[in-house]
Structure 1
């Protein structure tokens, strides 16, 4: 498991209790080792970040983006965050909330392939 800043523990707990609809839909399909029999964690602190979903066995991070992620300033932050996570050997997948809600099976297929290629 990757180390994290201890001050992120409580904010991560708060995020887990207030998940978005898209996060709830995806979590319902990947929790309890339903996908490739690997464990996923939700709202997991990693270094100085809280990632939406994390699979340590595959070193995979799954991020779900709301509409605010379409803004130019936010995209730059996301790219810097993804680069920092990649420097730890983590692979980052990003989906927007709409994709998860309307194309759940397609999103799961992409995640499944990523896990298969990394476990």
Structure 2
């Protein structure tokens, strides 16, 4: 991170560089309007949160869930995050890592159906 970069921008860049494999696989299908012409961005800062992927024009957030969303504490934190994001006018689609590994095409179909 260059010293002139705002902290949020630098944090988003780090998250993109360190993206888990499932996020990279899905991003390969979403980037450059690759999903039926819809523009997605990744690691978008919204309030104090960073969302995995967002399509601003359809107000859809896609969250990729791995093993880190399995405890009661993590689920409570996710619920608070979802309340905030929904209050900003977004819909949230949660996708499991395993679903992306098993059928990234199926996940893309689900995203299109949700849009």
Q: What per-residue deviation string (whole Å, max 9, x for no partner) do you get for residues 66-101 of structure 1?
A: 102011110111111111100111000001111111
Tell me which of the two structures has the higher relative contact order, counting C-alpha pairs closer than 8 angstroms and 6 or more residues apart.
Answer: 1
Moved over 4 A (4+): none
Instruction: Report the alpha carbon displacement of residue 36 of structure 1 after superposing the two structures with TM.
Output: 2.3
TM-score, with structure 2 as normaliser: 0.90
Larger radius of gyration: 2
Matched, 1:68 2:68: yes
Identify unmatched segments of 5+ residues in structure 1. Answer: 1-5
Q: Name 1:19's counterpart in structure 2.
A: 19
Q: What per-residue deviation string (whole Å, max 9, x for no partner) do you get for residues 22-69 of structure 1?
A: 001000001110112111001111111100001111111000011020
TM-score, with structure 1 as normaliser: 0.87
Aligned with 1:42: secondary structure? strand
Q: Name 1:3's counterpart in structure 2.
A: none
Identify unmatched segments of 5+ residues in structure 2. Answer: 1-5
